[in-house]
């Protein structure tokens, strides 16, 4: 399994968004995130995913509150 993060999908204004998706590949991660967004009545047309390298230590700040 792979880990993807997204911090630019649609959300409830004015709070920034951030999601973590665990999936077998990027295509499955996109499908999963789209389904979750749709279930909440949010737009699903545009967002980006970033795959995290889980073999090394790292910090990925998804949202620092600055918007």
pLDDT tens-digit readout, 44-66:
989 999 999 999 999 999 888 77
First to last CA, the chain: 32
Mean pLDDT of 22-33: 98
Helix (H, G, I), strand (E, B) or coil at 31: helix
Per-residue pLDDT, 37: 97
Tally helices (H) and strands (E) across the chain: 1, 3
CA-only gyration radius of the chain, Å: 12
How far from 65 is each of 7, 15, 62, CA to CA, in Å? 12, 8, 9
């Amino acid at each position: 399994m792979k880990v993807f993060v997204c911090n630019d999908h649609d959300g409830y204004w004015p709070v920034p968004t951030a999601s973590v998706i665990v999936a077998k590949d990027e295509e499955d991660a996109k499908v999963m995130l789209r389904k979750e967004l749709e279930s909440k009545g949010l737009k699903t047309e545009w967002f980006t995913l970033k795959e995290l390298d889980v073999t090394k230590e790292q910090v990925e700040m998804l949202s620092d509150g600055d918007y």
